[in-house]
A and B are shown apart, each in its own frame.
Chain A
């Protein structure tokens, strides 16, 4: 079985607060750009973190507080985050629809105690084990487990490749 290409991800933390909404990630006023994803991606998080799109580096991690991604079902939100180069999202909790959308896009979302991570900390994430090593502070964090069906979707790189492979949903107990 082909596993995810990046079982271990390395990058720097970009810290965000609690309750980052889908309107923060990609405001409704840019709805006319939704069929032009590269253009839309230039506005990712611009109201919440001025200059974010130019600041973010490939494989950086978004490290948020609670309820990341609350609000709308627009899958454009995880799409533009992924397009901006973010390797994974770490949060204390994530809103339901956003969480599912991110995994469906093959963008890992790990739930853990993000208070133990500072802005700019170097992190190494082991996706298979659900462990985060904070290389800056030396602390190791455990992430809560997602349902096996979601891990399987993430391992295939998203829902569409998963469905193409399995031709449907497979329950793993």
Chain B
């Protein structure tokens, strides 16, 4: 029998033959925490009597969720995390460096790696062919100490992609469409594996947006093969030597195959309060928005800011709509300044936030008021997600967010292109 990508990676990392349904103990190449889940992880690590990290250089702390901290308790959590880094010799990324998942993609993830993070969107690194998944504090505390974890090897869904995106349609629209099809629990405990002829044209930023949201269909991982696009991305980021080709076997066994023709897609939206509540933008046009937010680990990359700048160039945000933009990392911000995007966005009326999670999780930098509506490029719109259970969050691509910020209402980006 041939192997899926998930079976291949877990076979390698468990030093055996891993088949879907098996339980294996696998080596962990990289483990990380962020500032809202890290403190509990550290307390559990210490209470368990662990002292040393299995792999200090492959253990990372990111200060990105409350960055800079808006409250004294969170500032104290940051102190705890910094002290732990000092004591154990692990790496730490300070306030302003960017979102954990973006930094993992820029600097660490390689095809075939096993990566654990105490954050559900750890799946983002699946874009580079890493078996990357989110876990809670106990599991991460144990992985930090042992350098190992256990997995039930997931069954895989093959998502076979054909065609090319039409103008105004992006990777975000594809993944929203797919989540609408699969449902928020349709891939629970499974791996989503992306394949098909469209991958040859699909850039790493697009793959990152797609893999990032695999968890919104319940999936354990969202995996792309390690191909030439992966190799080029690794070379650009100074770790070309880490590239190895990674493809599923031709006779791999998939639980389901879902075919999507990219040129049949249109701009999509996810409506409050569920990510799988998906409709085409054309059917929701005209809903007034008080805030547009472009950023997050889903859509805060250079390519996303480029699209937003293209649409907002020479235009102004609607007077009734705030426009918040948070680049996903310091590198993204620097490149966006060099390319002139930041100037265009500021002239269009945007407030630029520091690299980090910003308004995404509702604890600072753009908390919504009662009855307000936000169009966000993030990955979640659960009730209360942006800090207020009385507010509404719609999810869409950066193009849809930029176009809607100009009009002050949900707008099809193709109308402004």
Contact = CB atoms under 8 A, between A and B. Distances in A.
Interface stretch (A20-28, A117-125, A130-138): A20-28
Interface stretch (B132-140, B160-168, B264-272, B313-321): B132-140
A7 interface: no
B134 A97 contact: yes
B389 interface: yes
Size category of the binding interface on chain A: 35 or more
Interface in A20-75: 21, 23-24, 27-29, 31-36, 47-48, 66-67, 70-75
A24 B389 CA distance: 9
B213 to A, nearest CB: 12
A84 interface: no
A21 B76 CA distance: 27
Interface residues of B, number: 58
B57 interface: no
Given A28-B362, A29-B363, A71 B73 contact: no
A64 B367 CA distance: 29
B232 interface: no
Contact of A75 (B37, B142, B367): B37
Contacts, number: 152
A31 B361 contact: yes
Contacts of A163: 48, 142, 146
A100 interface: yes
21 contacts: A23-B383, A23-B384, A32-B72, A34-B40, A35-B73, A47-B383, A70-B218, A71-B380, A72-B120, A73-B119, A73-B122, A73-B136, A74-B136, A75-B37, A104-B138, A147-B23, A149-B23, A149-B150, A159-B142, A160-B48, A163-B48
Interface of B: 23-25, 36-37, 39-40, 44, 47-49, 65-66, 70-74, 76-77, 80, 117-120, 122, 134-139, 141-142, 146, 148-150, 152, 184-185, 188-189, 218, 220, 274, 361-363, 367, 380, 382-385, 387-389
Q: Which 4 A-B pairs have the closest CB atoms?
A: A75-B136, A101-B136, A67-B185, A104-B138
